[in-house]
C-alpha cells in the first residue's frame, strides 16, 4: 500500500473484521532492505502483511516481489476508485483468494 497510510490502517481493520490475521508494517520504520527477514516470520505465522510506505522506487518493488513471490499483491496496480469504501471492497475481494479456510 503506497502513499496512503490512512487507507492502509482502514484496510488492516477491515481485514481483521473479515477474520484475517493481519499486521501493518510501516516502510518508514522497516525499510524494504530489512523487511525480507521479518516477512519469513510473518509468513510462518500465516499473517497477511500490509506494507505501507511512501511510493516505492522500481528496485524496491522488485525486492518486495522477490521477498513475497506470488503472495505479493501490489495494490497500486488495482486502479482503485476514488470512493474509499469501494476501494476497500475491491481490495478485500482480491485478497479473499489467499484465504486458506473459507
Please write the tens of the pLDDT for every residue from 7-65.
889 889 988 998 889 999 999 999 998 998 899 999 999 898 999 999 999 999 999 99
pLDDT at 101: 54
pTM higher than the cut 0.85 = no
Q: Where are the domains of the chain?
A: 5-96
Contacts 24+ apart (CB under 8 A), 65-73: 66/36, 67/32, 67/35, 67/36, 67/39, 68/39, 71/43, 71/98, 73/98
Amino acid at each position: 500500500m503506497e502513499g496512503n497510510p490512512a487507507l492502509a490502517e482502514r484496510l488492516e481493520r477491515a481485514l481483521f473484521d473479515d477474520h484475517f490475521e493481519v499486521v501493518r508494517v510501516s516502510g518508514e520504520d522497516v525499510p524494504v532492505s530489512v523487511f525480507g527477514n521479518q516477512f519469513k516470520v510473518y509468513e510462518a505465522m500465516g499473517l497477511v502483511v500490509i506494507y505501507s510506505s511512501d511510493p516505492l522506487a522500481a528496485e524496491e518493488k522488485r525486492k518486495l516481489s522477490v521477498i513475497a513471490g506470488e503472495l505479493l499483491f501490489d495494490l497500486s496496480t488495482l486502479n482503485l476508485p476514488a470512493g474509499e469504501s469501494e476501494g476497500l471492497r475491491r481490495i478485500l475481494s482480491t485478497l479473499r483468494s489467499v484465504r486458506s479456510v473459507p
